[in-house]
Amino acid sequence: MATLNFNTESVSFMKTLRPYALKLTSNRQDAQDLLQETLLKAFASRDKFKEGTNLKGWLYTIMRNTFITNYKKKVRRKTFIDSTDDLAHINTGRKARNEGVSELAVGEIMKQIDKLSYAYKTPLKMYANGYHYKEIAEFLDIPIGTVKNRIHVARKKLEKDLDQNLYDTLGKPLIMN
C-alpha cells in the first residue's frame, strides 16, 4: 500500500477510533492523546502492515496495546520504592497499638471461646493452633466437611457474641454491618 493511501485510510478511521479511545480512558483529553499516539505509531510502523489485511483492526490493536502500556507505566510511577541503603522508609519497626482495647478484646475472646460447646470449641482451637482440616477430622473422627462447618459456625457465633459483649463494655459495636 502506498504511503499516501495508508495515511489517508488511517486518518479516515479517526471517527471510529475516537469513541474507543474515550471508552478506554474515560477522559476526553486523554482519549485525544491516545488517538494521536496510536496514529503516530501506525505511521511509524506502516512497513509492518500487510496490504490486504484489516487496517481498522490493526489500528484498534495498536490503540489497545498503547493504552495498556501507558497504564502500566502510570501504575509503576505511583509505586513507592524505598531506595535508601537501610530501607529506612519500610523498616521503621513502629506500630501503633491500643493496649487497653486489645487486652480487653483478647480476654473477651477467650471467655467466649470457653463458652462454646466441646463440638465447636475443639475444632476452632485446633485450627487456630495451626492444625489442618484433615488432621482435625482424624483426631475427632469426623468428616472434613463437618470440621469446616463447625469452625465456620463457631466463628460466626463468636463474632456475634463478641460484638454484643464489646458493645456492652465499650458502648459501641466492634463489627459494622
23-69 pLDDT, tens digit per residue, is 999 889 999 999 999 988 988 888 888 888 888 898 999 999 999 99
**7 and 67 within one domain:** yes
| Total domains, the chain | 2
**166 and 136 within one domain:** yes
CATH number at residue 60: 1.10.1740.10
Q: Alpha helix locations (H) across the chain? A: 3-12, 14-25, 28-44, 55-78, 99-115, 118-128, 133-140, 144-170
Please indicate, yes or no, if residue 91 is contained in any of the structural domains.
no
**105 and 53 within one domain:** no
Q: What percent of the chain has pLDDT over 90?
A: 29
Model-level pTM? 0.43
Please indicate, yes or no, if residue 177 is contained in any of the structural domains.
no
Task: Identify the domain containing residue 10 by its residue range.
Answer: 3-78
